[in-house]
Amino acid sequence: MSGTITNIDKIALSDTKDGTISISTIDKPYGEDSQSVASIGISLQSQSTEPDWKVHIPKDNIEAVIKALQKAQDSL
Q: What is the pLDDT of residues 4-21, one digit of tens each?
A: 999 999 999 999 999 999
Query: What is the domain extent for residue 64?
Result: 4-75
pLDDT at 1: 59
| Pairing verdict, β 4-12 and 20-27 | antiparallel
pLDDT at 50: 87
DSSP H helices, 1-76, are 62-75
How far apart are the C-alpha atoms of 25 and 38, rounded to whole Å? Answer: 4
User: Coil, strand, or helix at residue 31?
Assistant: coil
* Strand order from edge to edge, sheet including 37-43: 4-12, 20-27, 37-43, 53-58
Question: What pLDDT, in 10s, does the model give residues 22-54?
Answer: 999 999 998 888 999 999 999 998 788 889 999
For residue 66, pLDDT beyond 70: yes
Q: What is the value of pTM for the model shown?
A: 0.86
What total of structural domains would you count in the chain? 1
